[in-house]
Amino acid sequence: MYRVMRAVTAFVLVLLIGPGLISAQEQEPEPAQIPENIRQALLAGGVNLQFGYYDSDNYDPNQFDDELPLVAAAGAKHVRLPISMDVLERDKTGRLRSDRFADLKAFVELAQSNGLVTIIDVHNTGMRECEGCPWTENYMWGITDSAVRARHTRLLLALTTELYRSGLDRAWFVLQPANEPIFSANPGDWYEYQAELLGEMRLECPDCVIFAMANDWQSIVATVNAFNPPFDDPLLIYDVHFYEPLALTHCAYPGQANQCGGLEYPGTYETWRGEELWDRARIETLFQPLVDWRDRYGVTVHFSEVGTADGLAEDVRAAYLGDLTSIMRENDFGYTIYEWHRNFGIKNFPDVIAAVFPNGD
């Protein structure tokens, strides 16, 4: 469509001012690039903010107003705002609520005033696996239902359109349309849907920076082995999550016993690959295929979730997350710590903050 519009415009100009002038003035546009402000903010590190926009039963858009200056003072340069789809939509129709969009716009502006880029993360489809169940662990499972898929598509296109029209500076936000799509039995369904959705979103906002992601929890393995980027789009960022080894990072979690006592890093832990010694060298080995994948395709990679339970001893957390984030910085991977002040929070752990934001105030 873009080429067609350019051709029509050129033809009209030729008729109006003659071919001599148009041949002298016609130049190829500069290729699109991720704004340097976003690139640097992601590389410097950030934090996730839970649960004001995520828990639709307890919506609290001003929950983070007092936290943003503290986040910035800690050294973070961006925040990720997980949002449940049903917080934004009107009556399960996929229509965007204007009042909730106004709240979101105000948040992005407030974050910007504190020097923070916002990742707008539509974190789930608002579905629960049973009546009274907590949020599903398969955050995007709802789109396997055609009606929910249509709602999700409609909402994301409306959100993208409003962000484009809102007057917000697009160097201060990134749009993430989904989170941790598992689709272990049918990964092709996820990639087909994502390609369609991202293509339509790009039409609504030609210069928005948008996240794309692999299936299977957005893991390194799935990214490298299953996700061959089909998108000729330099404004996409490829998002990955990393919590290995789970026995260390998830030793405490809401609803389960605290098993963090005595855990160490470096240390030996059981994973799906077997018993492994986890240290800096092990993490570097696991990251190398992603470095190679990134370099092969020439894409930008970000980790929007890395972290540990706050029940883990602070020195152990600082050692593990310090190694992890320094490896990311060395390889030009941005990262967002999960999370600021809740179950995996770092707010009250100065050694952890110093480890993950070494250039902080």
Tens digits of per-residue pLDDT, 317-346? 999 999 999 999 999 999 999 999 989 999
What per-residue confidence (pLDDT) applies to 19? 42
4: pLDDT strictly greater than 60: no
What per-residue confidence (pLDDT) applies to 132? 65
Strand 334-337 to 78-84 pairing: unpaired
Cβ–Cβ < 8 Å for 347, 338: no
**What is the Cβ-side half-sphere exposure of residue 300, based on CA atoms within 13 angstroms?**
23
Q: Which helix (H) or strand (E) holds 277?
A: strand 274-278
Strand partners, 23: none
Q: How far apart, in whole angstroms, are the C-alpha atoms of residue 228 and residue 212?
A: 12
Q: Which helix (H) or strand (E) holds 124?
A: strand 117-124
pLDDT band at 359 (very low <50, low <70, confident <90, very high): confident
Is the omega angle on the peptide bond into residue 51 within 30 degrees of 0, that is, cis?
Answer: yes
What per-residue confidence (pLDDT) applies to 21? 39
Cβ–Cβ < 8 Å for 137, 130: no
Tens digits of per-residue pLDDT, 209-259? 999 999 999 999 999 999 998 888 999 999 999 999 999 999 998 878 999
What per-residue confidence (pLDDT) applies to 20? 43
Q: How far apart, in whole angstroms, are the C-alpha atoms of residue 7 and residue 222?
A: 41
pTM for the predicted model, two decimal places: 0.90
By C-alpha distance, which of 293, 47, 38 is closest to 172? 38
By C-alpha distance, which of 337, 338, 220 is closest to 282? 220
2: pLDDT strictly greater than 60: no
15: pLDDT strictly greater than 80: no
Residue 263: both structure tokens together = 């855990």
What per-residue confidence (pLDDT) applies to 210? 98
Specify the 3-state DSSP secondary structure of 135: strand
55: pLDDT strictly greater than 90: no
Tens digits of per-residue pLDDT, 164-177? 999 999 999 999 99
What per-residue confidence (pLDDT) applies to 155? 98
Percent of the chain with pLDDT over 90: 78
Q: How far apart, in whole angstroms, are the C-alpha atoms of residue 74 and residue 114?
A: 12
14: pLDDT strictly greater than 60: no
Tens digits of per-residue pLDDT, 250-279? 999 887 899 999 999 999 999 989 999 999
Q: What is the overall mean pLDDT for the chain? A: 90
Cβ–Cβ < 8 Å for 337, 45: yes
10: pLDDT strictly greater than 50: no
Residue 20: both structure tokens together = 């001599």
Residue 76: both structure tokens together = 């973070």
Task: Tell me the residue type at 226.
Answer: A
What per-residue confidence (pLDDT) applies to 307? 98
What per-residue confidence (pLDDT) applies to 301? 98
What per-residue confidence (pLDDT) applies to 18? 41
Q: How far apart, in whole angstroms, are the C-alpha atoms of residue 69 and residue 67?
A: 6
Cβ–Cβ < 8 Å for 202, 211: no
Residue 310: both structure tokens together = 């706050």
User: SS3 sequence, 158-175?
Assistant: HHHHHHHHCCCCCCCEEE
What per-residue confidence (pLDDT) applies to 136? 61
What per-residue confidence (pLDDT) applies to 26? 54
Cβ–Cβ < 8 Å for 10, 26: yes
pLDDT band at 311 (very low <50, low <70, confident <90, very high): very high
What does the chain come to in residues? 361
